Chain A
Amino acid sequence: MTAPDGRSGDDREELNRARCDTPDGRSGDGRGELNQGRRDTPGGRVVPTVRVQEAAFDLAAESAALAAGRVDIGALASFVGLCRADDGLAALVLEHYPGMTERAITGIAEQACARWPLTGCTVIHRHGRLEPGAPIVLVLTASSHRAAALESCAFLIDWLKTRAPFWKREEFAGGDARWVEAKAEDDAAAARWEPGRA
């Protein structure tokens, strides 16, 4: 869903301010620096929802939860990463670094909220054994307008891939297993969001 084009930026800021989930007393950790020269962030920043879990998630239910009772969201973007059955893959096993994982994802999500005028943000990343077809990661971003929702959603998944401490191990039907290697194209995709590059 996209907001009608006629709405002014002033309206948007007012709506964001009205949605004041701003955490108290958080500033000066470098996010302001990243935000310089991009766009004004409204006074009220949303608090992202971050979950690291073994259980599956439901895109429709998470989208509904994010938008429930809200009339300020004009655009809701989503990304779902799924387990592919490449080369006879039987399962992906995702290892992670409990504690650092939640910290890293929260930090990335807070950057998204600082760089774009978001009115909602949810990131869910699974770990454990996942079979082909299973959802692995969910990113939801909400804003008044589509550009902020779409861009921040792309930013989040690009940075999650290169900055969240997960490691994928591929298990194959014959019993072979191997660790997935980091890809140069993922680094390149993440680098385009570096300050001064995007």
Chain B
Amino acid sequence: MRVLYFAWVRQKVGVAEEEVSPPPEVRDVAGLIAWLAARSPGHAAAFAQARQVRAAIDQEFATPDAPLAGATEIAFFPPVTGG
């Protein structure tokens, strides 16, 4: 699956996007965050306060318990500040 990062999440991770293949036991957004956080110190810093990170699955906002099944694009970002 493709993972996208925006704003300070992107800065901390160090890349704007990456392809990942999490193991089958990673089933939901919270599980993916825990798995990604172990990939590098940058990932760990980005997800250190996971409650401040929002997610989208295939361009729709998703909660931590949202299942990943069938998802092709997951995005992580801070709470939005547009308008």
Q: A73 CA to B79 CA in the complex, in Å?
A: 36
Please give the number of chain B residues whose Cβ is less than 8 angstroms from any Cβ of chain A in the complex.
16
The contact string, 1 if C-beta is below 8 Å from chain A, for chain B 4-41, is 10111000000000000000000000000000000000
Asked whether B8 lies within 8 Å of A166 as measured between CB atoms, the reply is: no
B83 at the interface (CB under 8 A from A): yes
Contacts of B81 in A (CB 8 A): 161, 166-168, 179-182
Asked whether B83 lies within 8 Å of A99 as measured between CB atoms, the reply is: no
Q: What residue in chain A is nearest B9 (Cβ atoms)?
A: A167
Please give the number of chain A residues whose Cβ is less than 8 angstroms from any Cβ of chain B in the complex.
28
Asked whether A164 lies within 8 Å of B80 as measured between CB atoms, the reply is: yes
Q: What residue in chain A is nearest B75 (Cβ atoms)?
A: A97
Contacts of A104 in B (CB 8 A): 59
A-B interface pairs (CB < 8 A), number = 71
Asked whether B7 lies within 8 Å of A167 as measured between CB atoms, the reply is: yes
The contact string, 1 if C-beta is below 8 Å from chain B, for chain A 145-170, is 00000000000010011111111110
A103 at the interface (CB under 8 A from B): yes
Asked whether A179 lies within 8 Å of B80 as measured between CB atoms, the reply is: no
Q: What residue in chain B is nearest A178 (Cβ atoms)?
A: B8
A94 at the interface (CB under 8 A from B): yes
A100 at the interface (CB under 8 A from B): yes
Q: How far is the CB of B44 from chain A (nearest CB, A)?
A: 19
B50 at the interface (CB under 8 A from A): no
A125 at the interface (CB under 8 A from B): yes
Asked whether B80 lies within 8 Å of A163 as measured between CB atoms, the reply is: yes
Asked whether B56 lies within 8 Å of A165 as measured between CB atoms, the reply is: yes
The contact string, 1 if C-beta is below 8 Å from chain A, for chain B 51-83, is 000001001110000000000000101111111
Q: A165 CA to B75 CA in the complex, in Å?
A: 11
Asked whether A167 lies within 8 Å of B59 as measured between CB atoms, the reply is: no
Beyond A164-B82, A179-B81, list 13 extra A-B contacts (CB 8 Å). A81-B83, A96-B6, A97-B77, A103-B59, A103-B60, A104-B59, A125-B83, A136-B83, A137-B83, A165-B75, A167-B7, A167-B82, A186-B83
Question: Could you list 27 A-B pairs, sorted by A, with CB under 8 Å?
Answer: A95-B6, A95-B7, A96-B82, A97-B56, A97-B59, A99-B59, A125-B83, A160-B82, A161-B82, A161-B83, A164-B82, A164-B83, A165-B75, A165-B77, A166-B80, A166-B81, A166-B83, A167-B78, A167-B80, A167-B82, A168-B82, A169-B7, A179-B8, A181-B79, A182-B79, A182-B80, A186-B83
